[in-house]
Amino acid sequence: MKKNWLAVITVVVIMGVLFVHAGEKLANTKNKHDLLSIVTVLKGENIDINEWSLHAREKLEADSPEEIQNYVQQLQSIFPNWTWELSSDSEKWEAKASQISNQGMEESIQILSTLTDHNPQTYIIYEIRGKNFTQETEQFINEDLNELLSDIFRENTTIFTCVKGEINDKMNTSLPFTVNQLLDKFEAEEIESLIEEDFISTSAYSPLFSNGLMTKNQDMNLQLGIRTTGLGAKTTLVVGTPIITIEY
């Protein structure tokens, strides 16, 4: 009887350890920015990245213009080295800050408030974009981005990430083959596609990404756009979550 209890306790302990490791793995996955997940897959497929962006926005609940201006002053004190501009017309009031980092990344903060009705809408928008995705870029995303976002936003922030690349000539450039291969790497299930001779746009759902949109009663959180300009020509690819935000 004693041996049976020892066996049960041993099993419980082992299961507890497995659940802890699974929980840690899940937490680490959720803490990883979607941008890094996209870059990891594309680099694994030898796709050269030549443009990327992260766009975050949130509706600002403010009861008065004074409250909005106080919020802007707060941000100015947090980001004093950024270039700030204020502007307004009959339809909107806007405060915008920008900077270019030493790594060539372009960052901007925008507070935009409409003035056209009795219930003005105010939004805070942060965007960062760059060309090559370097080790310094990855370090910034991993170590600094979360703190920066917490300085700017309050809650209910929506984040869009997008990466544009060029497919290596050595890769099979059949568009349907390439799309299916990438969907497999993203562990994604296709929802709908637009297929033309030299262009494919696909919407899908992947468990790798947290943000999503509802379309045709299905969750969607991944878009792929791939285009070729003919035999032997380069093939370009754009990946976005939950949607593509880079022009292609």
Give every residue of the chain whose pLDDT is below 50, as ranges: 1-30
pLDDT of amino acid 5 = 36
pLDDT of amino acid 83 = 96
Is 5 inside a domain boundary? no
List CB contacts of 54: < 8 A, sequence separation 6 or more: 33, 35, 127, 128, 129, 145, 159, 160, 161, 162
Strand partners, 193: 202
CA distance readout (Å), 65 to 27, 70, 78, 121, 229: 39, 9, 20, 11, 50
pLDDT of amino acid 192 = 93
Number of domains in the chain: 1
- Structural domain boundaries, residue 102: 32-241
pLDDT of amino acid 67 = 87
Is 158 inside a domain boundary? yes
Q: What is the rounded distance in angstroms from the CA atom of residue 80 to the CA atom of residue 82?
A: 6
CA distance readout (Å), 222 to 88, 162, 178, 243: 36, 10, 16, 6
Is 172 inside a domain boundary? yes
pLDDT of amino acid 144 = 93
Is 85 inside a domain boundary? yes
Is 18 inside a domain boundary? no
Is 21 inside a domain boundary? no
The amino acid at 56: A
Report DSSP letters for the chain, one per residue: -HHHHHHHHHHHHHHHHHHHHHHHHHHHHHHS-HHHHHHHHHHHTTEEEEEEEEEEEEE---SSHHHHHHHHHHHHHHSTTSEEEEEE-SSEEEEEEEEE-TTS-EEEEEEEEE-SSSS--EEEEEEEEESS--HHHHHHHHHTHHHHHHHH--S--EEEEEEEEEE-TTS---HHHHHHHHHHHTT-EEEEEEE-SSEEEEEEE-TT----EEETTEEE-EEEEEEE-STTS-EEEEEEESS--S--
Is 4 inside a domain boundary? no
Q: How far apart are the first and last CA of the chain?
A: 69
93-117 tens-digit pLDDT: 999 999 998 788 999 999 999 876 6
The model's pTM? 0.81
Is 91 inside a domain boundary? yes
CA distance readout (Å), 60 to 57, 66, 89, 218: 9, 13, 20, 29
pLDDT of amino acid 4 = 38
Q: Any idea what the CATH number is for the domain that residue 129 is in?
A: 3.30.2030.10
pLDDT of amino acid 2 = 36
